[in-house]
Structure 1
Amino acid sequence: MGADVIDRYVTDLGSRLNGSPRQVRDLLTETRDSLADATEAHLGSGLTEQEAQRRAVDEFGPVRVIANEYQAELAVGYGTRTLVWLAIVLPLMHMAWEYGRMLFIGPWPAFATPPPSWYLFVAKANDLTNGIASAVALAALVAGRLVARRYDPKLLARVAASIGMVAVGAVLAGNLSIVLATAHLDPQRLLQSAPMTIASAVSWIVVVRLGLLARRCLSCATIVV
């Protein structure tokens, strides 16, 4: 039926998009409103409802073309969100953990014997990982926005996803390495505070969540509509 032309168009368009549900919903709402306005204009020129809707849809553009344009916009949004999370959440999480450690544990007691050099290297690398990942994400956010405007908009999302996956992998590897190294030298250090044990578990959950966000970002950037 003619009255379903716009509905079918919007439904088809929505089925081709992958991204934030809120952003997809906003884009589809804008599309429907634009088509409704165009339909009203064509009705005023003497076309029937069916003819007006078909004219509005034809003028708006083929679904595949519009979907590709919208998907690029969604990819930029996901890429930006991923980099912002990496740039802000990782250092905040590290600072919160250190503050909690000072609050519930205090300064780390000295080892019974001086720790080996490999342990100090692991500890230092683990401390630096969050800061480095955050700095790289911030730099990619600034540079990526400029590149995305001149070249493929989905490039920002691909860069963000790659950085996110590498950063999450590095943070997880660093956390796991220091836990295993500490367990090897002094297991009691891992059991000094129940609140910090919970905080560590929460940190792992946040990092895994960032990894899932990066994976979704990559999917959003590589989908073919």
Structure 2
Amino acid sequence: MGTDVIERYVTDLGSRLQGSRKQVRELLTETRDSLADATEAHLDRGLTEKEAQKRAVEEFGPVREIANEYQAELAVAYGTRTLIWLAIVLPLMHMAWEYGRMLLIGPWQDFGAMPPAWYLFIAKANDLTSGIASGVALLALILGRFLARRCDAKLLARLGATIAIGAVAAVLLGNLSIILATAHLDVSRLMQSLPMTIASMVTWIVIIRLGLLARRCLSCVTIVA
């Protein structure tokens, strides 16, 4: 019966946590081990097993408070993971796309007529968006290491989630803008070669994947009290 006290506590705690499954398992394992050690200490003082388990759980803290502390930790970890993805994947994706465009399409002059200035402006802005978003994500990771010692984990988690959402939104807006601009200029230019079509699909798959990571990062933060 005594074991049920700890198991109920750990199960309740686990049901309140959201984040990496591996990290959740590690936190719950650490919690279970800590409660087991505390129980052994109380047993040595003469308490019954059930009393020792109850005392260990009471001393560990209310489930709601511990869950909030753990969730903030999980949110920071998930935010860090998302920012790393943004910092690495976005520039690689952009370089791969530009290499494919130059190889299969060529410079703007090879389109037959130089696109108007407004189109080139949108194209340039779209090119810069990935680099800026990646740079902001990298800067956030660097600053996060210093702020981790001074700021509350909940605040860091919210900042990380906000930056991740903003970066993905900027990249998404940039890609949609260039598609709409191309359709307005000459819809036939949207009909690309098979390799470029595949590259475009991969780009959108990556953007959607990053968007899902950012959304999950935000959801990890919003459940923190």
When residues 113 and 224 of structure 1 are mapped into structure 2, their CA distance, relative to the original with a 3 A threshold, is: closer
| Structure 1 counterpart of 2:86, one-letter code | L
| Greater Cα offset, 36-45 or 49-58 | 36-45
Q: After superposition, what is the alpha-carbon deviation per residue over 1:83-106, rounded to whole angstroms, capped at 9, x for unaligned?
A: 111111111111122233344445
Q: After superposition, what is the alpha-carbon deviation per residue over 1:148-202, rounded to whole angstroms, capped at 9, x for unaligned?
A: 4312212222122222222222211211222222233344433332122122112
Structure-2 residue corresponding to 1:192: 192
Supply the distance in 2 between the matched residues of 1:145 and 1:222 (Cα, whole angstroms).
Answer: 22
2:77 counterpart of 1:74: no
Q: Secondary structure at the match of 1:149?
A: coil
Supply the distance in 2 between the matched residues of 1:110 and 1:101 (Cα, whole angstroms).
Answer: 11
Supply the distance in 2 between the matched residues of 1:140 and 1:224 (Cα, whole angstroms).
Answer: 21
Q: Percent identity?
A: 78
| Greater Cα offset, 71-80 or 190-199 | 190-199
2:159 counterpart of 1:159: yes
| Structure 2 counterpart of 1:18, one-letter code | Q
| Structure 1 counterpart of 2:208, one-letter code | V
Q: Which runs of 5 or more residues in structure 1 are unaligned?
A: none
Q: CA deviation at 1:54?
A: 1.5
Q: Secondary structure at the match of 2:17?
A: coil
Structure-1 residue corresponding to 2:49: 49
Q: Secondary structure at the match of 1:110?
A: helix
Supply the distance in 2 between the matched residues of 1:28 and 1:149 (Cα, whole angstroms).
Answer: 24
| Greater Cα offset, 178-187 or 164-173 | 178-187
Supply the distance in 1 between the matched residues of 2:116 and 2:27 (Cα, whole angstroms).
Answer: 57
Q: After superposition, what is the alpha-carbon deviation per residue over 1:108-146, rounded to whole angstroms, capped at 9, x for unaligned?
A: 552333321101101110110100001111111222332
Alignment check: 8 A CA contact 2:108 2:115 kept: no
| Greater Cα offset, 117-126 or 40-49 | 40-49
Supply the distance in 1 between the matched residues of 2:3 and 2:20 (Cα, whole angstroms).
Answer: 29
Q: Which runs of 5 or more residues in structure 2 are unaligned?
A: none
| Structure 2 counterpart of 1:205, one-letter code | I
Structure-2 residue corresponding to 1:141: 141
When residues 148 and 155 of structure 1 are mapped into structure 2, their CA distance, relative to the original with a 3 A threshold, is: farther
2:8 counterpart of 1:8: yes
Alignment check: 8 A CA contact 1:144 1:155 kept: no
Q: CA RMSD in A?
A: 2.0
Alignment check: 8 A CA contact 1:155 1:221 kept: no
Structure-2 residue corresponding to 1:24: 24
Supply the distance in 1 between the matched residues of 2:218 and 2:191 (Cα, whole angstroms).
Answer: 38
TM-score (norm 1): 0.90
- Give the 5 Å matches for 1:39-188: 39-107=39-107, 110-188=110-188
Supply the distance in 2 between the matched residues of 1:68 and 1:177 (Cα, whole angstroms).
Answer: 40
Supply the distance in 1 between the matched residues of 2:160 and 2:42 (Cα, whole angstroms).
Answer: 43
Alignment check: 8 A CA contact 2:43 2:52 kept: yes
Alignment check: 8 A CA contact 1:79 1:161 kept: yes
Alignment check: 8 A CA contact 1:160 1:214 kept: no
| Greater Cα offset, 54-63 or 79-88 | 54-63
Q: How many residues in Structure 1 have an aligned counterpart in Structure 2?
A: 225
TM-score (norm 2): 0.90
Alignment check: 8 A CA contact 2:3 2:53 kept: yes
Alignment check: 8 A CA contact 2:154 2:224 kept: no
| Greater Cα offset, 41-50 or 4-13 | 41-50
